[in-house]
């Protein structure tokens, strides 16, 4: 098998859209590399450039170490599978799978055996005589995969192949697809905007934003050690709490002023140049643990319960802490999962007068009552920035905490959470990580 690489690959469309911006990545031979990012970040364009379906503006595509910029799509020997299957409706499953062999004028004798072999690998042997119209979505996708591998490609390019399937089938197929790629040892580039898919399938994940590569690493690394604020925000469910703050270095302690509350953090040499700097504190729900009111010793945050999302085995509790979140300057389109949270829908989208928002507000009449931009209330005097253009109302100081069932708090109750400061992540104003470990 062969490695697939891009070298400062750039694509600017005629209308000036920079879809891919100097992206350099390499999928090692046999590796399953997932390109992850929100809608419009350039994932599909990268795949199409690698496949030779699109011409790069600058930079190179390398297959097996060779620059293939001048090779036609057909000569690159990579197989691409799209989300919409694109099977021929009037051909049977067997004919669909065998189509690339016939189109490639390979001897008919070998075709049948090869079709039978890949049908077996994909578990579609029983369907060989059916027409695509008589298959389920999952079956169609298996057939599309079978057709893609029938010519023993050097690499697999998969563009959101599971996104048309329902959730259950998607979970099942994602295991199958990853297992198949590994069994065949084919180098695979897999595009998705679904972080669960990326985290469960990938050897490594490449996170993209607006055409720019943010970070490449194994799933545990991009989750646990994000390089940029965007990666921290995009990966993780529930969404990472992103809080505006400022750092104060004092002889006897190091403090992050969060506007309405202070958090003492361990002194760290990496912070030496950051006295007085505005930062974003990223804290995932797993770094927060409810403690009895008062909190005892150690760093805590305090807030009022604003919303309890009961998930059965646990609940996600939204605390109004008065701390101002850092806006991530992304639209809902860029972050499709956001829409699943009712509170976020109300907080972000659609605009105030919209009937949908009014309907939601009737369902949750108290949801935004206390909205106030936080102002300095600590001795350090840090004022968070509230950008009125990014939301039509001041954001609530929402911090999301996991609380195990069955003892769930109620709305309006006070709550104290202990912060595991070793898991705090700090980002500078440019969104770059300030590494403290
Ligand atoms: N032919 C084109 N002409 C102009 N702009 C284009 C063209 N194709 C794509 N784009 C733009 O390039 C950017 C990247 O598009 P691309 O399809 O690669 O994104 P994506 O990350 O795959 O998104 P999705 O998940 O929605 O498929 C987008 O802003 C898109 O609107």
Q: What is the pLDDT of residues 32-66, one digit of tens each?
A: 999 999 888 999 999 999 999 999 999 999 999 99
Whole-model pTM? 0.81
pLDDT band at 108 (very low <50, low <70, confident <90, very high): low
Q: Give pLDDT, residue 141.
A: 85
Q: List Cβ neighbours of 90 (8 Å cut-off, separation of 6 or more).
A: 131
Q: What is the pLDDT of residues 334-380, one digit of tens each?
A: 444 433 333 333 333 334 444 554 454 444 444 444 444 445 566 66
Please answer whether residues 235 and 217 qualify as being in contact, where contact means their C-beta atoms are separated by less than 8 angstroms.
no
Closest residue (by CA) to atom 20 of ligand 1? Answer: 40
What is the spatial distance between Cα 313 and Cα 405, in angstroms, rounded to a whole number? 5
**Ligand 1 centroid, distance to 189 Cα (angstroms):** 17
Q: Write the CA distances from 385 to 6, 255, 283, 349, integer angstroms.
A: 39, 19, 19, 20
Contact 17 CB / ligand 1 (< 6 Å):
yes
- Which run of H or of E encompasses 402? strand 398-404
Q: Which domains does the chain carry?
A: 4-224 (3.40.50.300), 229-434 (no CATH)
* ipTM given for this complex: 0.97
- For the beta carbon of residue 341, count every other beta carbon within 10 angstroms: 18
Q: What is the pLDDT of residues 120-135, one digit of tens each?
A: 988 899 999 999 999 8
**Ligand 1 centroid, distance to 42 Cα (angstroms):** 6
Closest residue (by CA) to atom 16 of ligand 1? Answer: 42
Q: Write the CA distances from 116 to 105, 128, 142, 147, 192, integer angstroms.
A: 18, 9, 14, 11, 30
**Ligand 1 centroid, distance to 240 Cα (angstroms):** 27
What is the spatial distance between Cα 318 and Cα 402, in angstroms, rounded to a whole number? 9
Residue with tokens 């659609």: 350
pLDDT band at 332 (very low <50, low <70, confident <90, very high): very low
Q: Distance of alpha carbon 337 from its chain centroid, rounded?
A: 9
What mean pLDDT is reported for the chain?
82
**Ligand 1 centroid, distance to 39 Cα (angstroms):** 8
- Which run of H or of E encompasses 111? helix 108-122
Please answer whether residues 96 and 88 qualify as being in contact, where contact means their C-beta atoms are separated by less than 8 angstroms.
yes
With 0-12 / 13-18 / 19 or more C-beta atoms within 10 angstroms meaning exposed / middle / buried, residue 404 is exposed
Please answer whether residues 63 and 186 qualify as being in contact, where contact means their C-beta atoms are separated by less than 8 angstroms.
no
Please answer whether residues 383 and 227 qualify as being in contact, where contact means their C-beta atoms are separated by less than 8 angstroms.
no
Beta strand 398-404 with 254-257: parallel, antiparallel or unpaired? unpaired
User: Where are any strands of DSSP class E within 84-186?
Assistant: 155-159
Q: At what angle do helices 167-184 and 137-149 cross, to 10 degrees?
A: 20
Closest residue (by CA) to atom 1 of ligand 1? Answer: 13
Q: Ligand 1 pocket test: pick from 18, 37, 44, 157 the residue with the most ligand atoms within 8 Å of its Cβ.
A: 44
**Ligand 1 centroid, distance to 146 Cα (angstroms):** 27
Percent helix, strand and coil across the chain, each to the nearest 5: 30, 30, 40
Highest mean pLDDT among 35-49, 161-175, 374-388: 35-49
Contact 13 CB / ligand 1 (< 6 Å):
yes
**Ligand 1 centroid, distance to 69 Cα (angstroms):** 20
Q: Ligand 1 pocket test: pick from 9, 12, 15, 17 the residue with the most ligand atoms within 8 Å of its Cβ.
A: 17
**Ligand 1 centroid, distance to 233 Cα (angstroms):** 22
For the cut 50, the answer to whether the pLDDT of residue 286 exceeds it is: yes
- For the beta carbon of residue 290, count every other beta carbon within 10 angstroms: 19
- Which run of H or of E encompasses 418? strand 414-419
Q: Distance of alpha carbon 101 from its chain centroid, rounded?
A: 36
Residue 179 in tokens: 């297992």
Please answer whether residues 35 and 222 qualify as being in contact, where contact means their C-beta atoms are separated by less than 8 angstroms.
no
């Amino acid at each position: 098998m062969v490695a697939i690489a891009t070298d400062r690959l750039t694509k600017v469309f005629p209308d000036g859209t920079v879809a891919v911006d100097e992206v350099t990545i390499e999928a090692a031979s046999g590796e399953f590399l997932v390109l992850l990012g929100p809608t419009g970040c350039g994932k599909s364009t990268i795949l199409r450039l690698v496949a030779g379906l699109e011409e790069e503006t600058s930079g190179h595509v390398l297959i097996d170490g060779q620059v293939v910029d001048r090779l036609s799509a057909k000569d690159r020997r990579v197989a691409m599978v799209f989300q919409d299957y694109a099977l021929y409706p009037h051909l049977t499953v067997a004919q669909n799978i065998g189509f690339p062999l016939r189109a490639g004028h390979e001897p008919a004798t070998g075709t049948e055996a090869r079709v039978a072999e890949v049908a077996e690998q994909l578990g579609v042997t029983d369907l060989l005589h059916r027409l695509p119209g008589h298959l389920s979505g999952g079956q169609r996708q298996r057939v599309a995969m079978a057709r893609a591998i029938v010519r023993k490609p050097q690499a697999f390019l998969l563009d959101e192949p599971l996104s048309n399937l329902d959730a259950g089938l998607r979970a099942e197929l994602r295991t199958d697809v990853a297992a198949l790629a590994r069994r065949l040892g084919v180098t695979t580039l897999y595009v998705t905007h679904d972080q669960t898919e990326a985290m469960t399938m990938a050897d490594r994940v490449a996170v993209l934003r607006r055409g720019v590569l943010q970070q490449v690493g194994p799933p545990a690394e991009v989750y646990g050690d994000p390089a940029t604020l965007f990666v921290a925000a995009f990966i993780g469910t529930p969404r990472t709490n992103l809080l505006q703050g400022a750092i104060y270095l004092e002889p006897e302690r190091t403090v992050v002023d969060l506007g309405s509350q202070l958090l003492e953090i361990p002194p760290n040499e990496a912070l030496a140049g950051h006295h007085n700097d505005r930062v974003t504190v990223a804290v995932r729900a797993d770094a927060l643990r409810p403690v009895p009111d008062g909190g005892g010793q150690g760093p805590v945050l305090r807030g009022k319960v604003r919303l309890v999302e009961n998930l059965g085995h646990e609940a996600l509790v939204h605390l109004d802490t008065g701390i101002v979140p850092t806006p991530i300057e992304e639209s809902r389109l860029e972050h499709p999962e956001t829409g699943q949270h009712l509170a976020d829908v109300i907080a972000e989208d659609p605009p105030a007068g919209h009937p949908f928002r009014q309907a939601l507000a009737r369902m949750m009449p108290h949801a935004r009552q206390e909205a106030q931009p936080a102002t300095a209330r600590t001795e350090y005097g840090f004022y968070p920035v509230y950008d009125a253009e990014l939301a039509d109302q001041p954001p609530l100081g929402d911090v999301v905490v996991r609380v195990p069932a069955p003892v769930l708090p109620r709305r309006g109750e006070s709550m104290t959470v202990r912060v595991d400061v070793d898991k705090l992540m700090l980002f500078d104003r440019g969104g770059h990580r300030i590494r403290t470990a």
